[in-house]
Amino acid sequence: MVAEALQEAVRQLQPVAERPRLEVEILLAHHLGCERSRLLLRDREPLEKAEEFFAMIERRCAHEPIEYITGTVSFYGEEFFIAPGALIPRPETEILVEEAAVLIREQRGIERIAEIGVGSGAISVTLAKLFPRLQIVATDIRPEALAVARENLRRFGVEGRITLKETSLLEGVDPSRVEMIVSNPPYVAQGCVLEPNVARYEPHMALFAPGDGTELLRRIVDLAARLGVPTVCEMGYDQRKPMEAYFREKGIENYRFYRDLAGLDRGFIVDFG
């Protein structure tokens, strides 16, 4: 029965998950193809394909992120497709979207932007939905990530306004298409120990950057300075000091940092206008 399977799965997941009941309900609802709120009504039904459901629980017990198991992730109020080739978009990245949206609104006339490191496409798709006239060129060095982004572009019907390009940074991108840059690049310092669900399953090239983790952030700032375009970047909570030092070294004065909901430094905006 559904109720018994739920109980047994919660027992199995207890040592691994912080909120085992919630996770089991999400997986069970996914398995049954119904809303989580409908589970109670199906309590007494026999559980069809129980082995497939418990195979999902086993994957979760091995620390695989629930989003890769269900193939979906919530971002900015929408359900995106996700697969192991792409980093799972994080809630704090919604703040980057907000900051980018403010810039686009303030700097009236911005209609062409670039995203570096598109991953699942969550940022570009969300911005494209918020600004119907926006044209975006979005790059990534990993074809696996671009495949996930392509699927999201299709699902949200924005293929005509987002061009995906397999390249590093903005190499080969026509500068006239770039009036602003947004990026959530890899910024975790090499050697940093991450939770097993992240370290074992998420693509390392989406997470780690050499040295103290700011290398790509610096290269993006250089690029933004060269193109003379405003730029919004996410960064690590401990990278404000090195980035401030870099701005000083480069004589860049027009910048500010933003924080996440926990009050931690989480990103910056530089403007060259």
Say which residues have a Cβ less than 8 Å from residue 226's Cβ, sequence separation at least 6. none
Q: Which is nearer to ligand SAM, 29 or 189 (CB)?
A: 189
Q: d(Cα 168, Cα 125) in Å, to the nearest integer? A: 20
Q: Min. distance of Cβ 253 from ligand SAM in angstroms?
A: 27
Q: d(Cα 30, Cα 38) in Å, to the nearest integer? A: 12
Q: Min. distance of Cβ 226 from ligand SAM in angstroms?
A: 16
Q: d(Cα 126, Cα 130) in Å, to the nearest integer? A: 6
Q: What is the DSSP letter of 177?
A: G
Q: Which is nearer to ligand SAM, 3 or 246 (CB)?
A: 246
Binding mask 190-209 for ligand SAM (x = CB under 6 A): ---------------xx---
The 8 Å CB, 24+ separation contacts for 32-38 are: 32/2
Q: Min. distance of Cβ 61 from ligand SAM in angstroms?
A: 25
87 binds ligand SAM (CB under 6 A): yes
5-13, 38-46, 110-118, 249-257 -> range binding ligand SAM (CB under 6 A): 110-118
54-62, 97-105, 178-186, 264-272 -> range binding ligand SAM (CB under 6 A): 178-186
Contact residues toward ligand SAM (CB under 6 A) are: 87, 89, 93, 116-120, 122-123, 139-142, 145, 168-169, 184-186, 205-206
